[in-house]
Copies of this chain bind each other. A is one copy, B any other.
Amino acid sequence: MTLTAGESRDAIGSEELEVWRMLQRAQVRITRLLEADLMVAHDLALASYDVLNQLAESPGRRLRMNDLAERVLLSRSGLTRLIDRLQRDGLVEREACASDARGLFAVLTDAGADRLAEAAPTYLRGIRSRFLDVFDEDELRQCAAMLNKLFPEAAG
């Protein structure tokens, strides 16, 4: 590290830091593998899958742009473009919001639901083989507990 000064107490045990770095690496690598799976098998980016999935899980297969952006961890502008693409491909439609003229719903089309249903097995198989299958039940429980400590508010 070659830290010069001011690190009297910040000289964290490298092992602890290493945990974070390994987590980073693991998450990035698995995510890329999942995305590659989806791309070759279904020509679907992971972000697109997430959007379709979120919509499918929502009542009326629809979500306000803003809510959707939060759930898929995208900026509003990023989601605008992504929905543009999905709409161009017929997987999603925009629909006006009756109660708020500023708002728009992103709505999953039948084609979008079909596409999601096609891709879901690939996605699930990927997560299973690359993540879930590696651990036993206790470990997954431990993991879930730790994640809940990290983000208590994300318990939805």
Contact = CB atoms under 8 A, between A and B. Distances in A.
**Copies in the assembly, this chain:** 2
Contacts of A40: none
Contacts of A26: 147, 150-151, 154
A97 interface: no
Nearest to A114: B4
A140 B25 contact: no
Contacts of A98: none
A15 B147 contact: no
Given A1-B57, A150-B134, A7 B144 contact: no
A1 B121 contact: no
A82 interface: no
Interface string A1-24: 111111100101001111110111
Contacts of A85: none
Interface of A: 1-7, 10, 12, 15-20, 22-31, 53, 56-57, 73, 113-114, 116-117, 120-121, 124-125, 127-128, 131-132, 134-135, 139-140, 142-144, 146-151, 154
